[in-house]
């Protein structure tokens, strides 16, 4: 802001001088972490905004068909809505004590929803299994014939179950 200082002499000094001066607003900076995000369609991710000013933060996206972005305090929640790339811009207005900072961007790449892979297993004789099991996004078909067929399976990649028997 602008202010005026008045200096008046005392004792053996006389006179007055008025000086007008301006105090510039403090600078401010926005940082965003992470600056690049990769997600799949339907997945959510968050980014954190650090800002040392007193202006109002806001966000915009250049591609609302690809992402939905919501600013809540200093956290941006990003949801992938379609495959593609979007740029989210984080900005702030000038505040009462701080100048408006340069805006920052987040690049978001959204990949399409994964397709269900199918794995067909055959035994040493080259026969394909007749049983089929499904769980989540993976369908496995185990093939062969016989009474002493063995394999392991896991639904989470950590806990494994052994199976030995007839198909």
The per-residue pLDDT for range 41-98, each reduced to its tens digit, is 999 999 999 999 999 999 999 999 999 999 999 999 999 999 999 999 999 999 989 9
Whether residue 115 contacts residue 43, with contact meaning beta carbons closer than 8 Å, is answered with no
Q: Which of 135, 145, 141 is nearest to 165 (CA)?
A: 145
What's the pLDDT score for residue 2? 85
Count of C-beta atoms within a 10 Å radius of residue 6: 8
What's the pLDDT score for residue 1? 73
| pLDDT tens, position by position, 7-37 | 999 999 999 999 998 888 899 999 999 999 9
What pTM was computed for the model?
A: 0.61
- Give the Cα separation of 29 and 87 in Å (integer): 19
**In the structure, what pLDDT confidence band is assigned to residue 115 with cuts at 50, 70 and 90?**
low
Whether residue 106 contacts residue 73, with contact meaning beta carbons closer than 8 Å, is answered with no
Structure tokens at 6: 């008045």
């Amino acid at each position: 802001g602008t202010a005026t200082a008045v200096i008046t002499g005392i004792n053996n000094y006389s006179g007055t001088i008025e000086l007008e001066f301006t105090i510039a607003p403090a600078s401010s900076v926005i940082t965003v972490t992470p600056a690049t995000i990769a997600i799949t369609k339907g997945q959510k991710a968050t980014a954190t905004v650090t800002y040392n000013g007193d202006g109002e933060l806001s966000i915009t996206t250049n591609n609302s068909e690809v992402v939905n972005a919501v600013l809540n305090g200093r956290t941006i929640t990003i949801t992938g809505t379609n495959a593609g790339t979007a740029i989210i811009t984080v900005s702030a207005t000038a505040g009462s004590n701080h100048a408006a900072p340069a805006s920052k961007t987040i690049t978001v790449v959204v990949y399409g929803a994964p397709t269900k892979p199918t794995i067909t297993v055959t035994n040493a004789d080259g026969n394909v299994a007749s049983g089929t099991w499904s769980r989540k996004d993976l369908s496995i078909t185990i093939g062969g014939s016989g009474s002493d067929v063995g394999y392991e399976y896991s639904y989470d990649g950590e806990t494994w179950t052994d199976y030995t028997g007839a198909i």
